[in-house]
């Protein structure tokens, strides 16, 4: 039996972040070393609080939670309460956390953990703005040698953006951070809107989550019912995309996904296209490939996997 894959989840919960966290905590194949919170969907005070709530919901208070950056590297913070509600995880009536954040900063803990690890040992999973990870890479660039993979949710090229015409939210909030991550030297896999928009929730699936009859199932279904209304109204689809859990599903079932190894850059200067992920899909430049850019998913397989993982939680 192979050892679980050690991962760090860097997150700004967010209902879809919440499902990603719960799925990872439920998996026997992943070892969640810690959860690091960053400002994004809502301010840091709330994202850190939400991460604590979620580890308690999952019965996994052994997993430490750290607070990271409260604003992007070089910009003012943009948040998304209009999507996620004032708490970030509206839709579930969850109690206040009884556990506390770790005293160490997310960045200090990540640096310490990476430098103590073996070469290419730890996978980093940013499912929010990449400010914490970029700060780590700028502060201790040597830590990149011990990163097995950075599997992130962010970006969009063929589908455009969801925050501006060209920019996806996580990258738009801190485009400089995303650009640093893409050029850190560690293997990067990006799961953008181009793939997450191909995996839409259905009411029937959310009902299956609720019908698990567990506290986690009830909370998850409540969050998802609240969360999907924004994208259903915006896009006119039958259900909303569930972005961030694709990162966890990709780690567990890479056979569900396909894409291309190519060059990806982030626009950081243009006022018109700030935060755009520019993907050299057809290899028309001489820029070296730096990212595995995912564009296809087996949606049915993805939702079957998620349901199985959620069913393991209390």
pLDDT for 231 beyond 80: no
Number of other residues whose CB lies within 10 A of the CB of residue 254: 13
Extract the tokens encoding 310: 């959620």
7-57 pLDDT tens trace: 999 999 999 999 999 999 999 999 999 999 999 999 999 999 999 999 999
Lookup: tokens for 50:
């939400």
Mean pLDDT along residues 244-272: 98
Q: What is the chain's mean pLDDT, rounded?
A: 96
Mean predicted confidence (pLDDT) in 209-236? 86
Residue numbers annotated as active site: 243
User: How large is the average pLDDT for residues 288-304?
Assistant: 98
* Three-point CA angle 107, 113, 117, nearest 5°: 145
Q: Give tens-digit pLDDT for 283-295.
A: 999 999 999 999 9
The band of 2, judged by pLDDT with boundaries at 50, 70 and 90, is confident
Q: How many residues does the chain have?
A: 314
> Of 50, 48, 53, which Cα lies nearest the Cα of 66?
48
Q: Residue 154's beta-bridge partner residues?
A: none
pLDDT at 259 over 90: yes
Question: How sure is the predictor about 59, in pLDDT bands with cuts at 50, 70 and 90?
Answer: very high
Distance between CA atoms of residues 178 and 32, nearest Å:
22
Task: Report the pLDDT averaged over residues 258-282.
Answer: 97
Residue among 268, 264, 265 nearest 175 (CA): 268
CB atoms within 10 A of CB 8: 26
d(C-alpha 31, C-alpha 52), whole Å:
17
- At residue 239, the pLDDT reads 76
Backbone angles phi, psi at 10, to 5 degrees: -105, 120
Q: What is the mean pLDDT of residues 96-106?
A: 97
């Amino acid at each position: 039996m192979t050892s679980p894959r050690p991962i760090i989840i860097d997150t700004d919960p967010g209902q879809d972040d919440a499902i990603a966290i719960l799925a990872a905590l439920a998996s026997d194949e992943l070892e969640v070393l810690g959860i690091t919170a960053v400002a994004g969907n809502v301010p840091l005070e709330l994202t850190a609080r939400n991460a604590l709530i979620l580890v308690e919901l999952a019965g996994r208070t052994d997993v430490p939670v750290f607070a990271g950056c409260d604003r992007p590297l070089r910009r003012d913070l943009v948040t998304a309460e209009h999507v996620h509600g004032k708490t970030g995880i509206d839709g579930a009536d969850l109690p206040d956390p009884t556990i506390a954040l770790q005293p160490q900063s997310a960045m200090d803990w990540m640096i310490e953990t990476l430098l103590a690890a073996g070469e290419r040992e730890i996978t980093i999973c940013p499912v929010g703005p990449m400010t914490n990870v970029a700060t780590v890479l700028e502060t201790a660039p040597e830590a990149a040698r011990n990163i097995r993979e950075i599997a992130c949710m962010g970006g969009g090229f063929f589908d455009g953006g969801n925050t501006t015409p060209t920019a996806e939210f996580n990258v738009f909030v801190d485009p400089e951070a995303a650009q640093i991550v893409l050029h850190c030297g560690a293997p990067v896999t990006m799961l953008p809107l181009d793939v997450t928009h191909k995996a839409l929730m259905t009411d029937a699936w959310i009902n299956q989550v609720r019908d698990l009859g567990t506290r986690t199932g009830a909370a998850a279904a409540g969050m998802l019912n609240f969360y999907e209304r924004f994208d259903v109204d915006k896009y006119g689809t039958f259900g909303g995309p569930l972005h961030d859990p694709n990162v966890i599903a990709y780690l567990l079932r890479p056979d569900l996904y396909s894409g291309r190894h190519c060059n990806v850059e982030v626009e950081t200067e243009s006022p018109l296209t700030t935060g755009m992920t520019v993907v050299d899909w057809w290899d028309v430049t001489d820029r070296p490939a730096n990212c595995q850019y995912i564009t296809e998913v087996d949606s049915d397989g993805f939702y079957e996997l998620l349901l199985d993982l959620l069913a393991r939680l209390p």
